[in-house]
Structure 1
Amino acid sequence: MTDVAETPQQDTAQRPDALPLGPQSLVWRYFGDNRMYLIGPRPAVLQNMLAELGQGVLDHSVFFSDTRARVKRSLPPIFMTVYGSDDDHPGQQVRDFHTQIKGTMPDGARYHALEPETYFWAHATFVDQVLYFADTFVKRLTGAEKEQIYLESKTWYRRYGVSDRVMPADYAEFERYWERMIDEIVIAHPTAKYGVGYVTKGYPCPKGVPPALWRVVSKVFNPVAAFLTTGGMPPRTRELLGLPWTDRQERRYQRFAALWRSRPVNWLWDHLPMRVRYNKYARAGYARA
């Protein structure tokens, strides 16, 4: 008996709609990796470049008065949405944080953080964070690996308990969505501009750090922070935000990334203790699993 060729329709029907999170997933492998600092604040800045999201932060967040407090409050439940189990509900807590985040745009239009288009954009920047970090600083991802990460991210998104009607079906559709958002939708919102202001002005002295010490430390910290922040942004968003970047800096950034992707560096990293390689939320997830 001869084999019957599989039609495209059959192939599509057999593809999973989403993939599970867990110790075998690529999202788990990369999202809590401490090398993630190498991409700078890419996801946070891109989030705030969506006008409605940036306005919500401007109107309701302590981002401007105490940036560190806002980060400390926001990130733990997001990490636990990934590294928790399906029976946990940190994703719903994240959703509920945004119930009262609503208001009026400068043009009079209304916004709400739980609007599907707005909420999914915030999630999309985290999906991009995983993809960009892994492909830039760990290894060049194959098409199958990108597809796997995206399908795992659909499970992640559904843990928030919000509408998924705007969520792209697969990685190819997500890639088109991402390119349209970057090329046509995002803007230089004041919240995003504030978030990268230190690139040209220098980072202000953190609370609790003696000014004299910061004057010494900042001579190294500020150039490194500016390099990672600007290098980690998509080219069009650099232009929108007025971030200075030259061809020479781009070549340096690519050499820097290639060094991190090299076999010796990856071998060394993989042999470091778990407490060095992963944040505490990822370590807790792996330990439980």
Structure 2
Amino acid sequence: MAVIRGNLDRMTGDVGLFGPGSVTWRLHREPILLLGGLRSLYLQALHPRAVAAVMQNSGYRADPWGRLLRTSAYVGAIVWGTTEEVHAAARRVRRLHSRLSAIDPRTGERFRVDEPELLRWVHVAEVESFLTTAARAGVRLTPAEIDGYYTEQLRAAELIGLDPATVPGTAAEVAAYYERMQPDLALTRDSAEAALFLTVPPAPELWGSRVLRLGLNLGPTRWAYTAIAATAVALLPPWARRLYGGLGWPTIDLTADLSARGLRLLIATVMSTLPRRYRVTKASELAMERAAALS
């Protein structure tokens, strides 16, 4: 009966928040968004309270890859899930956030991690990073599609407890928001530690077991990841790079664009050689099947 129920649910045509005509579905089929996710973490870490909340509540040091997978699973559920799956995932995150607090290392003040200011910063940094990374890696988007993505993502912002009217919903609004936020951003000790950890993380335990079993060398993999992390940092806005002690030169932007385009081409080439079932995530495949039920 469970199998029959699952098949029936799959064919309901429930496409969740977005659907096949959305910019969100088009964009999130791009594997290069993994690079965008990494970029967003570097950007989020420049908000003193946001990074303090992570440092004081998260187990990312003990299980960084597990946390990354859980975050990716949440984004995947919001983008590709059924209406029920979307709201269930959001409820879990809101329930978790409601129990957490942290201490501002600058003032000693205790604050809730679900403060609207913090939720808004994390949301904007994430969606802007996804969009900017995709565009700079060669995904063609019109100005209307760019604004459309931001507007669609207001639904995701509302799910985590934000009033959509307080969240930037166009490219111009995002640019103005970043301009307003810059005086409040800084490279703190927490920011520096988080950035270093993102750049040189420990290898997943699974890699270690395979290395021992197969006699492989992690060196090339480590260097490849370091190059990816460097590209993520180079893709940051010039003002964010300067906060990290880097340069805001346009030549760095050009180099980052070329690196991102190269990574996208490499990923596309690798994906094209794989069987179809590996080319997109299982969640997106199921969402496409549900969407097909509508036609």
Name the TM-score class by shorter chain. 0.7 to 0.9
- State the shift of 1:118 in Å: 0.8
Shift of the 34–53 alpha-carbon distance from structure 1 to 2, 3 Å rule, reads same
CA contact (8 A) 1:83 1:285 kept: yes
**CA distance in 2 between partners of 1:192 and 1:104 (Å):** 15
Matched with 2:104 is 105
Matched with 1:128 is 128
**SS of equivalent to 2:111:** strand
* TM-score of the superposed pair, with normalisation by structure 1: 0.76
Matched with 2:5 is none
Percentage identity across aligned positions? 25
**CA distance in 2 between partners of 1:222 and 1:272 (Å):** 22
- State the shift of 1:27 in Å: 1.0
Amino acid at match of 2:191: A
Higher helix share: 2
**CA distance in 2 between partners of 1:169 and 1:34 (Å):** 24
Aligned alpha-carbon RMSD (Å):
3.4
Matched with 1:33 is 30
- State the shift of 1:79 in Å: 1.8
Matched with 1:5 is none
Matched with 1:229 is 232
- State the shift of 1:167 in Å: 1.4
**SS of equivalent to 2:98:** coil
CA contact (8 A) 2:102 2:113 kept: no
Matched with 2:3 is none
Q: Between Structure 1 and Structure 2, how many residues are aligned?
A: 267
- State the shift of 1:102 in Å: 0.8
Amino acid at match of 1:252: T
Q: What are structure 2's unaligned runs of at least 5 residues?
A: 1-16
**CA distance in 1 between partners of 2:141 and 2:164 (Å):** 26
- State the shift of 1:173 in Å: 1.9
1:73 to 55, 70, 79: 70
**SS of equivalent to 2:186:** coil
CA contact (8 A) 1:32 1:79 kept: no
- Structure 1 segment 6-25 matched on structure 2, within 5 A: 21-25=18-22
CA contact (8 A) 1:26 1:148 kept: yes
CA contact (8 A) 1:98 1:113 kept: yes
Matched with 1:286 is 288
CA contact (8 A) 1:83 1:282 kept: yes
CA contact (8 A) 1:134 1:141 kept: no
Choose 156-165 or 118-127, whichever is displaced more: 156-165
1:238 to 237, 241, 251: 241
Choose 83-92 or 111-120, whichever is displaced more: 83-92
**CA distance in 1 between partners of 2:187 and 2:146 (Å):** 28
**CA distance in 1 between partners of 2:222 and 2:70 (Å):** 29
Amino acid at match of 2:25: W
- State the shift of 1:250 in Å: 4.7
2:205 to 179, 204, 207: 207
**CA distance in 2 between partners of 1:191 and 1:129 (Å):** 21
**CA distance in 1 between partners of 2:28 and 2:115 (Å):** 25
CA contact (8 A) 2:146 2:171 kept: yes
CA contact (8 A) 1:56 1:102 kept: yes
- Please give the per-residue CA displacement for 1:135-173, whole angstroms capped at 9, x wherever unaligned: 111334321111111111112222334444521354422
**SS of equivalent to 2:19:** coil
Matched with 2:45 is 48
* TM-score of the superposed pair, with normalisation by structure 2: 0.75
- Structure 1 segment 80-99 matched on structure 2, within 5 A: 80-88=77-85, 89=87, 90-99=89-98
**SS of equivalent to 2:168:** coil
CA contact (8 A) 2:65 2:204 kept: no
Q: What are structure 1's unaligned runs of at least 5 residues?
A: 1-19
Shift of the 251–163 alpha-carbon distance from structure 1 to 2, 3 Å rule, reads closer
